[in-house]
Amino acid sequence: MLYTVGPQWRYKAFIEVWGNLYKQGRTENYPGGCVFQTITDAHRYIEKTESTKKLGVFGLQATWNVDTEPSEDGWWHHLLNDRPILLLEGIKETI
């Protein structure tokens, strides 16, 4: 499992109501969602992002270097294809 970040309340609500939510992979005009190998890296990204949204960390059903490709913008990877987002239970998900 890998990790991603997103608007905490929106992702949780969508998954709880609809059951499935997918992180968008690469398109012609989008490099793909940000993906992290560890929860620590995901939290580091949140700390460095000046977002007005309350971001949370979520699981991502994907494989590093198979479903992802290194970003030119940082230590994270970008998602190549849409992959399922997972709620994390029993761990600190937000900062």
Biggest alpha carbon–alpha carbon distance for the chain: 37
Pairing of β 68-70 and β 22-23: unpaired
Mean pLDDT of the chain: 91
- 40 and 92 Cβ atoms separated by less than 8 Å: no
Q: What percent of the chain has pLDDT over 70?
A: 92
* pLDDT band for position 52 (cuts 50, 70, 90): low
